[in-house]
Structure 1
Amino acid sequence: MEPLGQSQVWQYLSGLSANHQIVLLSYEKADDWANEQEKSRIKEIVSSKGVIWIPLRYHKKPSAIATAFDIFLGILVGSYLTLKHRVKIVHARSYVPSVIALALKKLFGLKFVFDMRGFWADERVDGGLWPKGSRLYRTAKWFERRFLLSADRVVSLTQAAVDEMQNFPYLQGRMPIFEVITTCADLDLFNPDAHERSSQNDDKPFTLGYVGSVGVWYLFDETLQCFKILQKVIPDARLHILNRGGHAYIHERLNYHQIDPEAVRLEVTDHAGVARAMCQMDAGIFFIKPAYSKTASAPTKLGEFLGCGIPCLGNVGVGDMATILESERVGLALGDFSEVAMRDAIVRLLQLVREPGIQQRCRQVALRYFSLEQGVKAYDQIYQELG
């Protein structure tokens, strides 16, 4: 039910449901499931596409026990669904669902699509959540090896990750079939033509947009430092933040950086609301901690910002993001987070925003790199080949 699930799961399945019978098993957080209005809306949409949706309760604490319970329940329910609906392919997104998928492959001989979404175990280490060499890390890497060796198709977000995996010693002579399908966006929804763009009003303050999480991977303090630099250039600039679940931390950091609350708009919205809000922004900003695991990452919001015609300020060391921003001239990628680098980036970003045709250029780049239609076609081809 979360916006990420609606953009990176449901949008694909909606397109795939035209040619395939889809059974969707998901884990929902208690707060999301308590939203009866949103739950009813999503149920109606899913049902209209003929998709069978089985939502299970997500358990968070205690971490290892809760995850083990969710996996056990997923295998039980997945087994029932496999038998009832004569499932032939199990498609798992990321590592924990892939434990369930691998069990179903072993039990029922299903074809297994490992949609890895990144080097998850290494992300936990790089994000400071696990010590490298810990039992949890070694267990996750053991499963990663099993996934790669057992999968009938491996889907990666970046070619850089495929290049890395092709050097893994245990895959030599046992190479799986890789498919690169980057993070796609619904470019019909994330489209400036679909939303009235009040930012064309010259009296509207310059709005810098931040969308999504503020924890672990996202360098939120550096984002706020850039905003303060922007305010020195444009005193009445505004920061529009769309976020779920991190508001206390956001307020604490805003206070720490002595940013006037009146200059910040913080809100929660649904997937369509994210698109409407993005189209009112003048530029997007997000910094992601550069690390080994991030060679496999492709931020969802990049395609969505560009689809809305919004140039972005990002950083190097994250998948193909820097190459796209710089080579296509639809944004800037910081090489370091010094004040000098940030100040130079803000000046250049403002110049880019004022360039004639920048909105159209961003849109064209989004269509070329992040088209949902092309992503659906790629997944459909995998299903056809494995089915």
Structure 2
Amino acid sequence: MTNLCPSSKHPIDQDERVLYVSYDGMLEPLGQSQVLAYLKQLSASRTMHLISYEKRADWADAVRRQGTQRELAACGVHWHPLRYHKSPSTLATAWDIMIGTGLGLFLVMRHRLFIVHARSYVAAVIALVLKLVTGARFIFDMRGLWADERVDGGLWRREARIFRVAKWFERQFLSHADHVVSLTHAGEQELRRFPYLARRSPAITVIPTCADLDRFRPLPSIPREFALGYVGSAGTWYDFDAAVACFAAMRAADPTARFLIVNRGEHDYIRDRLAAAGLPLSCVELRSASHEDMPSQMSRIRAGVFFVKPVYSKQASAPTKLGELLGCGIPCLSNQGVGDMARILEEDRVGVAVASFERSAIDEGLQRLLRLLQERDIGLRCRDAAQRRFALEEGVARYAAVYRSVSASLHQNRRIHERQP
């Protein structure tokens, strides 16, 4: 975990007092990379309060917990961690929302917080209540089409009542939000097609999942001993069998090729799929790694591979690993139909996006990837693409612009009310 906060001091803008609500924990890798990395910089010039939900196992790690507390305090972020409850699922989530709403009301009123920034849908329920009760401005940071993701992932049925309820809430979030953040331009375009937003469409800013490119960078001292690498989840949204088939085709052409897989919690499933493909474990290194260790693990591979199921909801998704891999100078083989990913890979010539998971498409994509790897400037091209599209500093600047825009609208409304008799 990095302990660095912005060194430059800026005057605190008292009109940009922000309550940030995340249902993801700050002790998880996702919270570390996609929440804390932003807030530590955004807190340099505004008051930031943070509500997060921490899982029991993460909270039990006293070293990490205390380190995160010190880090946030040093950056001026006021952290209010709550306990995450998992089961029974619906009741546990309702309980978490109730507790978070009560705490949020206290913080907004006690500290006169003018902006509530909600990360994803559960947090947005809390933010919507706070807006309706206190008049605080509401930023809906969507992170994707969550309700549709539950259907596409086989967790809900589209005709189920819970899906209809979730879509009703989504409509309320989008209709009441003062600003919406989308991960992708494809997602923004889909939102603008929603009929109920035809008359009143909120301001939308596209901010992809950025990477700390000071950490995710090429490390020449680490040899690239693996021809192919796979990092992150292997289930639900990912077609891991296609990634295994890709490596099997590579190994058929080069029996010395090795495969690095970095994953948490799915090792039995991964071993099963490797065995089903007839790949010996001797050519694969399967391991876990902390978020802090990911740049050094990525630097061990020549190319990354991952295939995301191109379902409806994924047009609003942006895999975090893409920016991190490119930042490390690593080209990627992936697929079309997922957010802006195919356009980035193909336009910037930093990877290949296949049209399907058919064996012929994967084989053709692998051959294109191998040709890219022969280009001498491929690493520099990947790094350049990451800096242009996924730099954390650019993401922070866009969030700061959103805060300024919302604050300006608040000022405008105040002036209108002041002029009224």
TM range (shorter): over 0.9
Pairwise mapping of residues 319-358 of structure 1 onto structure 2 (< 5 A)?
319-358=339-378
Return the match for 1:268 from 288, 298, 319. Answer: 288
Unaligned 5+ runs, structure 1:
none
Q: What's the CA shift for 1:99?
A: 0.5
Q: What's the CA shift for 1:255?
A: 2.6
- C-alpha distance in 2 between matches for 1:313 and 1:251: 22
What's 1:198 paired with?
Answer: 223
- C-alpha distance in 2 between matches for 1:127 and 1:196: 40
Return the match for 2:380 from 333, 338, 360. Answer: 360
What's 1:218 paired with?
Answer: 238
What's 1:106 paired with?
Answer: 132
Q: Does 1:89 align with 2:109?
A: no
Q: What's the CA shift for 1:96?
A: 0.9
Pairwise mapping of residues 226-305 of structure 1 onto structure 2 (< 5 A)?
226-305=246-325
- C-alpha distance in 2 between matches for 1:325 and 1:114: 28
Q: What's the CA shift for 1:173?
A: 1.2
Residues 325 and 35 (structure 1), Cα distance of their counterparts in 2 relative to 1, 3 Å cut: same
- C-alpha distance in 2 between matches for 1:184 and 1:44: 24
- C-alpha distance in 2 between matches for 1:29 and 1:256: 34
Q: What's the CA shift for 1:86?
A: 2.0
SS of residue in 1 equivalent to 2:47 = coil
Q: What's the CA shift for 1:258?
A: 2.8
Q: Point out the more displaced range, 254-263 or 322-331.
A: 254-263
Scaled by the length of structure 1, the TM-score of the pair is 0.95
What's 2:5 paired with?
Answer: none
Q: What's the CA shift for 1:197?
A: 3.0
Counterpart residue identity of residue 240, structure 1: L
Residues 54 and 267 (structure 1), Cα distance of their counterparts in 2 relative to 1, 3 Å cut: farther
Scaled by the length of structure 2, the TM-score of the pair is 0.88
What's 2:326 paired with?
Answer: 306
Deviations 1:236-281 (A, max 9, x none): 2222122222222222222322322222222222222111111221
Runs (4+) off by over 3 Å: none
Q: What's the CA shift for 1:60?
A: 1.5
Q: What's the CA shift for 1:342?
A: 1.4
Q: What's the CA shift for 1:284?
A: 0.6
What's 2:101 paired with?
Answer: 75
- C-alpha distance in 2 between matches for 1:185 and 1:42: 19
- C-alpha distance in 2 between matches for 1:256 and 1:84: 58
Pairwise mapping of residues 115-194 of structure 1 onto structure 2 (< 5 A)?
115-193=141-219
Deviations 1:297-353 (A, max 9, x none): 111111110011000000000011111111211000111112122122222212211
Q: Point out the more displaced range, 52-61 or 105-114.
A: 52-61
Q: Does 1:38 align with 2:58?
A: no
SS of residue in 2 equivalent to 1:198 = coil
- C-alpha distance in 1 between matches for 2:258 and 2:374: 17
What's 2:24 paired with?
Answer: none
Q: Point out the more displaced range, 261-270 or 375-384.
A: 261-270
SS of residue in 1 equivalent to 2:187 = helix
- C-alpha distance in 1 between matches for 2:58 and 2:251: 36
- C-alpha distance in 2 between matches for 1:83 and 1:269: 41
SS of residue in 2 equivalent to 1:21 = strand
What's 2:4 paired with?
Answer: none
Counterpart residue identity of residue 197, structure 1: I
- C-alpha distance in 2 between matches for 1:344 and 1:173: 46
Counterpart residue identity of residue 179, structure 1: T
- C-alpha distance in 2 between matches for 1:4 and 1:352: 30
Q: Point out the more displaced range, 92-101 or 53-62.
A: 53-62
- C-alpha distance in 1 between matches for 2:286 and 2:60: 22
Q: What's the CA shift for 1:71?
A: 0.8
Pairwise mapping of residues 370-385 of structure 1 onto structure 2 (< 5 A)?
370-385=390-405
SS of residue in 2 equivalent to 1:174 = coil
Counterpart residue identity of residue 177, structure 2: A
Aligned length: 381
